[in-house]
Structure 1
Amino acid sequence: MKRAIVLFSALALLVAATPGPYEKYIEKYSSVAVSEMHRSGVPASITLAQGLVESAAGQSTLATKANNHFGIKCHSDWKGKKTYRDDDKANECFRVYSNAAASFKDHSDFLRYQDRYKFLFDLDPTDYKGWARGLKKAGYATDRLYADKLIKVIEDYELYRFDGEAGELPEPPSQIEAPVEVAAVSAREEYRFSLARKVYQVNGVPCVYAVPGDTYESIAVSNSLFTGEILRYNDASADDVLNAGDVVYLQSKRQRAARGMDKYIAGEGGENLRDIAQRFGVKLSAIKRMNHLTEEYVPLEGDTIRLR
């Protein structure tokens, strides 16, 4: 009897020491999550928690058959392999990846380059609760308990410990995109433009913001430029009308966006390519060339536009 008790106790200890699917998933992918944190700024704890929840610790059909750990759907510009399954709607299209690491990278980019998630990168990278609640608020999942599930997984498995390996992270998108005001003296010395209004830089290119009554011609005159130059710098035509708040570049835009702003994922606001070019200070022709786009192309929600 005593021998049986000893054997049972030993077996119980062995079972307790055997890692379960969650522990195995964390051990397997924690280094990938930390690497993505360094590259994109998404906390490793959030990446791991979402992967665990979305893929059932790597055991979902999407994860095992398609290497899709985050349930990311195809969208109109997806050129890779596809798989179909019922989700919010019947027979929805999901992305197929060559390996799990590609899925993790796509997940990071999905968050970093979509407007509705960019506010998250202004949070402290160790604020996993803020990230979890922000993801739910931004509409990542329809489950009303989604944030609570992420927080519970992070705390149950101490995933926050991986956020301590952050080191130096890339600048938040909001800082990269924010126009930088140029001091009046610097503006005059460097650009020789009018001091009648503030001059800013977007992607290192001097610009002003239109006020009511502005036209491309009036801004050209006040900055000692030809109207044709202003139109060319802004990918505009003589018929285009300026609205208050529109950015107007005073020099030629760049061939690519600022470092850290590698791509942009189109939202549902009906932007066209020129809107995107103006926003990031990149030539429209360069965006078309990088993305192999035709004149007729109109971005659809979820489309990925390369900026570098």
Structure 2
Amino acid sequence: MFKKILFLLAIVTLASCGSSKSKVATTKKTAYKPKREVVTRKSHTGKPVATTKSSSASNNRSTEVIESTSRTVVYSEVINNYVSQYKEIAKSNMRQYGIPASIILAQGILESGAGSGTLSKTANNHFGIKCHTGWTGESVRHDDDSDQECFRKYNDPAESYKDHAEFLTGRSRYASLFKLEKGDYEAWAKGLKAAGYATDPKYPDKLISYIERYNLHQYDSEVLGTTFTPIQKSQPIASNTTIPNNSEGFYEVTKGDTLYSISKKFNTTVDDLKRLNNLSDNAISIGQFIKVK
């Protein structure tokens, strides 16, 4: 009897030892995700849009507010890249059609948002040319002076540049332009507005501003074989008539304004305004849009 009790105790002891092993918990290691700063801005429709900004992004690039067929905000480096990409086409068109390369490039920058606007991206339309009577090519619909207007669509930007030249040379209302000197970009800018190319009363000033600030007239000189003289004085940022005062950090210069008075109005300094707008001096003009924050 005693032996049976010992035998049972031995079995119980062995069973308890087998069940005392500890369990190992495992965890799944998650990949590290860098933090992103969420920035809320307003789109051209006025609705808030959330975007992300990398912590390594540069904050010292000057911005341009361009009044294309869709309002576009780009960096100056984007404009420089655009000029580098299309300057040869512009010079070639100047030789063939007689339109100053500076005017071609300035219009391309302004109308397409330096290639960043909706029409240039979706339709390769860099000059905001609408369908007009007789157009048999592809087209897209886009809001401009009226809702869902018809705009020409091209297979590539070079086709848009060619059509722009043929558009100007093939319509009698632009005939007076070709009586002007090819090196006189100011007269051409004003002539385009007078002939009805754009409805914006500040259209000539915008073209001239881009030509002089980015020295686009150097390409006219290359074609004409004349001496190029760069513009030393910093020119005002091309104004945007659709931006109300202080909308998204911009202020439209009115009569009597100075950088000093604007700095006091927005609790900043003249030096900060000059830095934000890439200005080398205190010269500003009525209708110019100044970035204030």
**TM value normalised by structure 2:** 0.51
1:28 is matched with 85
Task: Specify the SS of the correspondent of 1:83.
Answer: strand
Alpha-carbon deviations, 1:7-65, whole Å to 9, x = none?
xxxx98x979x971110100000001001111100000000000000011110010011
2:179 is matched with 122
1:131 is matched with 188
Alignment-mate amino acid for residue 55 of structure 1: S
1:51 aligns with one of 108, 113, 135: 108
2:143 is matched with 86
1:107 is matched with 164
CA-CA distance at 1:166 after TM superposition: 2.3
CA-CA distance at 1:165 after TM superposition: 2.3
**Following TM superposition, where does structure 1 have runs of at least 4 consecutive aligned residues deviating by more than 3 angstroms?**
none
Task: Determine if the alignment matches structure 1 residue 69 to structure 2 residue 134.
Answer: no
Larger helix fraction of residues: 1
Alignment length (residue pairs)? 157
1:140 aligns with one of 191, 197, 207: 197
Task: Determine if the alignment matches structure 1 residue 97 to structure 2 residue 154.
Answer: yes
Alpha-carbon deviations, 1:261-282, whole Å to 9, x = none?
xxxxxxxxxxxxxxxxxxxxxx
Q: Is 48-57 or 86-95 further displaced after alignment?
A: 86-95
CA-CA distance at 1:76 after TM superposition: 2.9
C-alpha separation between the residues in 2 aligned to 1:15 and 1:143?
Answer: 28
CA-CA distance at 1:77 after TM superposition: 1.7
C-alpha separation between the residues in 2 aligned to 1:165 and 1:65?
Answer: 32
CA-CA distance at 1:82 after TM superposition: 0.8
Determine what percentage of the aligned residue pairs are the same residue. Answer: 49
Alignment root-mean-square deviation, CA: 2.2
Alignment-mate amino acid for residue 152 of structure 1: S
Matches within 5 A, 1:188-199: none
Alignment-mate amino acid for residue 201 of structure 2: R
**What runs of 5+ residues in structure 1 fail to find an aligned partner?**
1-10, 169-308
Alignment-mate amino acid for residue 222 of structure 2: E
C-alpha separation between the residues in 2 aligned to 1:147 and 1:19?
Answer: 20
Q: Which has the larger radius of gyration?
A: 2
**What runs of 5+ residues in structure 2 fail to find an aligned partner?**
1-56, 63-74, 226-293
C-alpha separation between the residues in 2 aligned to 1:32 and 1:112?
Answer: 17
Alignment-mate amino acid for residue 98 of structure 1: N
C-alpha separation between the residues in 2 aligned to 1:140 and 1:97?
Answer: 20
CA-CA distance at 1:167 after TM superposition: 4.2
1:60 is matched with 117
C-alpha separation between the residues in 2 aligned to 1:167 and 1:25?
Answer: 22
